[in-house]
Homo-oligomer: A and B are copies of this chain.
Amino acid sequence: MTDSNAQPPSRRALLGWGGAGLALGAAAAGGAAAARAGDGPETDAGSAVEFHGPHQAGIATPVQDRLHFAAFDVTTDDRAAFVGLLKEWTGAARRMTAGRAVGAGAYGGLAEAPPDDTGEALGLKPSRLTLTIGFGPSLFGKFDLAGRRPEALVELPRFSGDNLDRDRSGGDLCVQACADDPQVAVHAIRNLARIGFGRVVVRWSQLGFGKTSSTTPDAQTPRNLFGFKDGTRNISGAEKDRLEKFVWVGKKDGPAWMTGGSYLVARRIRMHIETWDRTPLQEQEDIFGRDKGEGAPVGRAKERDEPFLKAMKPDAHVRLAHPDANAGATILRRGYSFTDGTDGLGRLDAGLFFLAYQRDPRTGFIRIQRNLADDALNEYIQHVGSAVFAVPPGVRDQDDWWGRALFTEEA
């Protein structure tokens, strides 16, 4: 639908000060004209990612450089108002991911009314923005949804070493915004929060400044804040078989409204980088089970060589996290590095905002995280935030909306 290589019409040209409504209608009818005001032709990095499809974008689609993630709590008990919000959000997400402003835009509406768009993304490219929604366990305690809660949407158990901050955990809803330009991601979350005023409120949010995992195997593997390559063996967006097996909820998994969806586990993992930085190189490499330069598993030469687990120390991270050590358990990782100022003790509050998608958290993250209780890395990290969400399937077309099957179809 989005032809991001075509010269897009200038939003300024479409949007005369007088005839804004009409001009915007024409633009909408013409499909996603993927440009904000005054841009030239799209580049790849600036291009739009298709919003519609059987799965939500932002899971198996290529990982963008930056993240803004927000968890929301519902503040209304009016089911119709909440459904209305989901529809409005879907419309706004459809426009923003195509690189367009929300509604009439930041200066296309009435002078006497607040603008429909906050405006700070005007002139910026779509930047591969994806918006991905999830429903937390607590949502199913509202709106008579109890009977529709998926069995797989369990509360995460307490794991060894957890030191969770309630204010950075949980949430009735989440939206993951990923884009190559952080201003575009922040703009999207901020506008969804604005639209949600009176119906939802931001519970917590997290900015991620750099991706730590990739879903494109040929790209250079990103490094985490411990300086190691991360996500070498991650599921690629092109591996349909592994996606079906490990990421997408199948028809037989149930409930029906989740078919084509996935489950997201989010963990804010503080990394004690100051301690790590005083650890000898050999010890760092032993802890990970890979070398630091190339990223090769212990005893191997190249990053993508098959790990030989028995050559690693028994508590090496790669050894304990490997599918072979976890009955095959495999998750799609999509995490980001963060740094949020300082911790009051002269240390950077930095780490990994871990995001993992899976077909079932019980046989995915929970299985693996339990096995990481003895991970040598635990001396240097601490899980301080946690949440789990049921991520519904994609929005199929212009008439569909986020969560439609959950709210309207028979169980």
- Which residues of A are interface residues toward B (Cβ below 8 A)? 12, 37, 66, 68, 73, 106-107, 109-115, 117-123, 167-168, 181-183, 186, 189-190, 193-194, 197, 201-207, 209-210, 220, 223-228, 273-274, 276-282, 284-285, 291-293, 337, 339-342, 344, 346-348, 350
A225 partner residues in chain B, CB cutoff 8 A:
118, 120, 186, 190
Q: Are B291 and A339 in contact (CB under 8 A)?
A: no
Q: Can you list 11 A-B pairs, Cβ within 8 angstroms, ordered by A?
A: A106-B293, A109-B281, A113-B281, A114-B277, A114-B278, A115-B227, A118-B276, A119-B227, A183-B210, A186-B209, A204-B342
CB distance from A206 to the nearest CB of B (A): 6
- Which of B168, B220, B277, B341 makes the CB contact (< 8 A) with A206? B341
**In the complex, A181 Cα to B210 Cα: how many Å?**
8
**In the complex, A120 Cα to B222 Cα: how many Å?**
8
A341 partner residues in chain B, CB cutoff 8 A:
168, 204-207, 340
Copies of the polypeptide in the assembly: 2
Q: Are B223 and A120 in contact (CB under 8 A)?
A: yes
Q: Are B348 and A190 in contact (CB under 8 A)?
A: yes
Q: Are B202 and A111 in contact (CB under 8 A)?
A: no
A167 partner residues in chain B, CB cutoff 8 A:
344
CB distance from A227 to the nearest CB of B (A): 2
**In the complex, A232 Cα to B221 Cα: how many Å?**
39
- Which of B107, B228, B284, B344 makes the CB contact (< 8 A) with A281? B107
